[in-house]
């Protein structure tokens, strides 16, 4: 084994840690207070909140993609990837909800205001929880994989009604619309920190995804081996019984 | 084979379900009693209060949602419990089976609406009722309710028998956008504010879109879970 293959991953992880630390420090110290918000100093959380939301969507998209692949190829590994990515989507959605609630407390006066986007993310969380509840209810791995893939794709179709259509059909939203995209809304430095955060969290997602998939694959192989071994014992017992 | 065969299969699945239902009246009885008892509870609790039309619209859809959910889950579970599902898999194309079941559930939702909505209007009368708008909301919302729950019912029937709590958990987040849009549209049917009328008419289009999208998706996905 060469030194590069041994230390390569470690160097990558350290670089990722430094990047995430840098975005955190920059978010608190380097960024100017955001004008245009009721509490300019407290609006810095935007640079943590928005990247979490973007990576949560990314993870959900990857999960839906592997659900489609599973239904086409019926390969257990694709089901594993889909469920791992849904788990990470749940994690990042939780982080989005929590950072959003802190933002809401400082800007709008309450942690929870039933803003259309808050309703939407609550429903997203419920869908993720329902997905795992469905998985827990099925014992047969093949059946569990196809049922949860079908549910995931069915939910993916329903979600745009909540996240895009419904918030835009009411005018009662508190959410800053397009503040981040407009030229005069936020300082340009926000964009840099925000996209650095997206990059860092995406890399973190990738790392967590690969570790969990590797773990799941090992687990799958182990249960298969135990299953096969127990079948062998039964078969031998039957043979012994037959000889008697 | 072909389209003719498909239509005959779908029709006979629907007719068989209707006959079984009319023989036992299990789902119909459960759903109607559920709707009526919740309606009585709500109207008794609110007897001395003045209720805004927004609240009335929300109450109407909560009653319809939970009443419908308590009956709609049965269609596929019944086949699995009776052991008739494998035979159905062999004798009819998957999408035809789904179409028959969907039609039955739409009929069930309409039956619930026919009984509980007039009762609701009598017990908790709104300020004004725009009947055209209300009829449109009930029609399109009912189809949407049936389309999503039929697919989830198929999932749950495959997952396990008798875990009815799971059906609520799994169906609820998918049905929520539909219910929120339907409530918004019903508010327009219950009061005389022009802006609410305009919004309600746009919401009718959204309800139709929801039903169309969810029905199409469930037809595409059903084959994958039915033959497994």
pLDDT in tens, A143-160: 899 999 999 999 888 888
Q: Chain-wide mean pLDDT for chain B? A: 87
pLDDT of residue A173: 54
pLDDT of residue B123: 86
| Number of neighbours of residue A231 by Cβ within 10 angstroms | 10
Number of cross-chain residue pairs from A and B with Cβ atoms under 8 Å apart = 91
pLDDT of residue A9: 74
pLDDT of residue B80: 82
Higher pLDDT, B80 or A33: B80
Q: Which of B185, B216, B219, B198 is nearest to B57 (CA)?
A: B185
How far apart are the C-alpha atoms of B225 and A148, rounded to whole Å? 10
pLDDT in tens, A191-225: 788 888 888 899 999 999 999 999 999 998 998 88
Query: What's the pLDDT band for A227 if we cut at 50, 70, 90?
Result: confident
A43 vs A46, A180, A208, A244, B173, CA distance in Å?
6, 12, 29, 80, 31
pLDDT in tens, A61-107: 999 999 999 999 999 999 999 999 999 999 999 999 998 888 888 87
Q: Do B160 and A138 touch (CB under 8 A)?
A: yes
pLDDT of residue A131: 93
Above 50 in pLDDT, residue B97?
yes
pLDDT in tens, A6-58: 666 788 888 888 888 888 887 777 777 666 666 666 777 788 888 898 999 89
> Which residue of chain A has the CA closest to B203?
A169
> Which residue of chain A has the CA closest to B219?
A154
> Which residue of chain B has the CA closest to A73?
B224
Candidates A150, A165, A171, A173, partner chain B, best to mutate (most B CBs within 10 A): A150
Q: Which residues of B touch A129 (CB under 8 A)?
A: 169
Higher pLDDT, B54 or B192: B54
Q: Which residues of B touch A138 (CB under 8 A)?
A: 158-160
CB A179 within 8 A of CB A36: yes
Above 80 in pLDDT, residue A5?
no
Which one of A146, A153, A162 has the shortest CB-CB distance to B228?
A146
> Which residue of chain B has the CA closest to A159?
B174
A233 vs A92, A117, A219, A224, A238, CA distance in Å?
45, 56, 21, 14, 9
Q: Is B145 on the interface with A (CB under 8 A)?
A: no
Query: B212 vs chain A: nearest CA distance in angstroms?
Result: 11
Q: To which H or E segment does residue B35 belong?
A: helix B26-45
SS3 at position A244: coil
Q: Is A151 on the interface with B (CB under 8 A)?
A: yes
Query: What's the pLDDT band for A240 if we cut at 50, 70, 90?
Result: confident
Candidates B155, B188, B196, B215, partner chain A, best to mutate (most A CBs within 10 A): B155
Q: Which of A227, A225, A215, A228 is nearest to A80 (CA)?
A: A215
Query: What's the pLDDT band for A183 if we cut at 50, 70, 90?
Result: very low
Query: What's the pLDDT band for A1 if we cut at 50, 70, 90?
Result: very low
């Amino acid at each position: 084994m060469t030194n590069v293959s041994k230390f390569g991953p470690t160097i990558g992880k350290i670089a990722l840690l430094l990047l995430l630390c840098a975005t955190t420090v920059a978010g608190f110290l380097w960024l100017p207070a955001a004008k245009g918000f009721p509490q300019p100093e407290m609006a810095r959380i935007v640079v943590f909140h928005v990247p979490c939301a973007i990576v949560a969507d990314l993870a959900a998209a990857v999960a839906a993609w592997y659900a489609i692949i599973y239904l086409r190829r019926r390969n257990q590994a694709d089901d594993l990837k889909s469920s791992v990515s849904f788990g990470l989507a749940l994690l990042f959605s939780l982080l989005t909800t929590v950072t959003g609630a802190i933002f809401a407390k400082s800007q709008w006066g309450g942690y929870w205001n039933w803003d259309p986007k808050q309703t939407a993310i609550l429903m997203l969380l419920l869908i993720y929880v329902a997905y795992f509840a469905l998985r827990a209810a099925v014992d047969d791995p093949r059946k569990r994989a196809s049922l949860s893939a079908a549910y995931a794709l069915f939910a993916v179709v329903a979600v745009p009604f909540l996240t895009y259509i419904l918030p835009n059909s009411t005018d009662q939203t508190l959410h800053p619309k397009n503040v981040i995209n407009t030229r005069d809304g936020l300082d340009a430095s926000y964009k840099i920190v925000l996209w650095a955060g997206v990059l860092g969290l995406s890399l973190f997602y990738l790392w967590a995804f690969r570790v969990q998939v590797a773990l799941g694959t090992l687990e799958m192989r182990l249960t298969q081996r135990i299953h096969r071994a127990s079948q062998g014992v039964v078969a031998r017992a039957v043979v012994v019984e037959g000889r008697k | 084979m072909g389209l003719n065969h498909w239509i005959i299969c779908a029709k006979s699945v629907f007719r068989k379900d209707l006959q079984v239902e009319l023989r036992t009246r299990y789902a119909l009885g459960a759903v109607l009693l559920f709707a009526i008892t919740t309606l009585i509870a709500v109207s008794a609790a609110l007897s001395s209060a003045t209720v805004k039309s927004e609240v009335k619209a929300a109450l109407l859809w909560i009653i319809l949602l939970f009443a419908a959910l308590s009956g709609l889950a049965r269609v596929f579970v019944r086949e699995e419990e009776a052991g008739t599902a494998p035979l159905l898999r062999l004798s009819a194309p998957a999408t035809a089976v789904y179409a028959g079941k969907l039609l039955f559930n739409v009929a069930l939702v309409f039956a619930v609406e026919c009984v509980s909505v007039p009762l609701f209007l009598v017990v908790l009368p709104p300020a004004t009722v725009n009947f055209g708008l209300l009829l449109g909301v009930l029609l399109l919302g009912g189809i949407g309710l049936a389309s999503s729950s039929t697919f989830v019912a198929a999932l749950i029937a495959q997952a396990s028998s008798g875990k009815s709590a799971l059906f609520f958990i799994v169906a609820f987040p998918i049905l929520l956008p539909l219910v929120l849009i339907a409530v918004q549209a019903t508010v327009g049917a219950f009061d005389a504010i022009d802006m609410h009328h305009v919004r309600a008419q746009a919401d009718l289009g959204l309800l139709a879109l929801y039903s169309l999208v969810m029905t199409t998706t469930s037809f595409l996905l059903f084959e994958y879970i039915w033959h497994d």
